[in-house]
Structure 1
Amino acid sequence: MPSDAVAALVLAAGRARRFGNDKRLALLPQRGPLLAATLATLRPHFGEIRVVLGIEDDPVHLGIAKDIGTIVADTAEQGMGASLAAGIHALMAESQALAVAVMLGDMPWLSGDTFALLCSRASDRAIVRPIYRGQGGHPVLFGRCFWGSLEQLTGDEGARSVVRRHRDACLEIEVQDPGVVQDVDRPVDLVWAGHSGR
């Protein structure tokens, strides 16, 4: 059953210039465009999914299903922090969720068990973070009492600063899922992922 207590917020406003073209449309073997494949992994686990896009992005062109909400970040060019702040601002007004799972649009290899485990530990006063072999990964689940801090982020300042300030509320969960740290920065990452068996 999808979680009603946790909303998923997918950051997908960046065009990823390092990749060479719009990586959100890069094709994964047997799974279609990268962003759409990431959203497909979330759908069974979250009743509410929102995608943060840039002002010039077309959800239909990006393969985002009609029943998945989009949020336009006017200041997305300033960096990930600005995109996250815009997404949280919209959720604060529209969502009743107790926590938000902050996810990146280029991480389509997480297992369903990981999503279920993280959501089972979520609360309005906790920050839940997966750890794989000592490395912090995504999604990071922020309880509602931290949304105000996320809404204040600017530029390229990511959510790490909020995690650092609230270490006492941070619950780190060891997982055996490399998908929590595996994203796509370059075309070669797609090729490797295609042979990874995930």
Structure 2
Amino acid sequence: MAQSPRVVALIMAAGRARRFGSDKRLARLSSGETLLAATLAGTRYAFVERFLVIGRHDEPGRRLADAAGVNSLVAPHAGRGLGFSIADGVAELLRRNSNAEALAVVLGDMPRVAAATYAALVAAAHPGRIVRPDYRRQPGHPVLFGRDFWPALSRLAHPAGARELIVANRQALYPLEVDDPGILLDVDRPGDLARLGYR
């Protein structure tokens, strides 16, 4: 599968996983992989550049990034919620003068997203477009944000993420129907691993 230089991935892994009860990134799947490693593996071929967004003093996160061959970005405000982590990550991309046309916000606890879905999202990317995958009319993740939305993303101040930004820019939303229930499946609690078919 060809990589595209147009889209970078921000893989969000700075949350505290309070509902899981431990560091869910390290939860072992039936394949022997960790949850985060499985998610990272799915992104391997779609993006030419991937960044793992982690919290301050997160040595396990740094080791996971190194093991996967991805860069790590520190989100100083990760403790305030997903939106703040996204803002920190995008602000750092802007500081680094990334020349990408779009970025994908990938949740680190979604190992079932198909590689074909990532490829389809990348193919639909455009600087003025927000690309969201839908499965049977249900919206899922990851969501791609064109370059035009990066400044607004870097100012996010809502713990739930970028939902309000998407609502405010409905004219730019490009729903992409995919045959992939994995875009709806994340892991919040240990029991969710069974729901994904891992336990």
TM-score if structure 2 supplies the norm length?
0.93
Which has the higher mean CA deviation after the structures are superposed, 160-169 or 60-69? Answer: 60-69
Ranges in structure 1 where 5+ consecutive residues have no aligned partner: none
| 1:15 partnered with 2:16 | yes
Q: Distance in 1 between matches of 2:66 and 2:180?
A: 25
1:73 corresponds to which of 75, 97, 101:
75
- Evaluate the alpha carbon distance shift between residue 63 and residue 27 of structure 1 in structure 2; reply closer, same or farther with a 3 A threshold: farther
1:36 CA drift (Å):
1.4
2:193 corresponds in structure 1 to: 190
2:136 corresponds in structure 1 to: 133
Ranges in structure 2 where 5+ consecutive residues have no aligned partner: none
2:101 corresponds in structure 1 to: 98
Q: Secondary structure at the match of 1:163?
A: helix
- Evaluate the alpha carbon distance shift between residue 122 and residue 63 of structure 1 in structure 2; reply closer, same or farther with a 3 A threshold: closer
2:161 corresponds in structure 1 to: 158
1:40 CA drift (Å):
1.0
1:133 CA drift (Å):
1.9
1:55 corresponds in structure 2 to: 56
Structure 2 contact 65–71 (Cα < 8 Å) conserved: no
Structure 1 contact 75–82 (Cα < 8 Å) conserved: yes
- Evaluate the alpha carbon distance shift between residue 133 and residue 169 of structure 1 in structure 2; reply closer, same or farther with a 3 A threshold: same
Aligned length: 196
Q: Distance in 1 between matches of 2:198 and 2:29?
A: 10
* Aligned-pair identity (%): 48
1:87 corresponds to which of 82, 86, 89:
89
CA deviation vs aligned residue, 1:8-67 (integer Å, no higher than 9, x gap): 001110121100111010011114111111111101111100011010211354364363
Q: In structure 1, what residue type is equivalent to 2:33? A: G
Structure 1 contact 9–50 (Cα < 8 Å) conserved: yes
CA deviation vs aligned residue, 1:59-114 (integer Å, no higher than 9, x gap): 35436436311111111101111100000001112221100011100001111111
CA deviation vs aligned residue, 1:142-169 (integer Å, no higher than 9, x gap): 0000001111111404111111111001
TM-score if structure 1 supplies the norm length?
0.94
Q: Distance in 2 between matches of 1:112 and 1:41?
A: 5
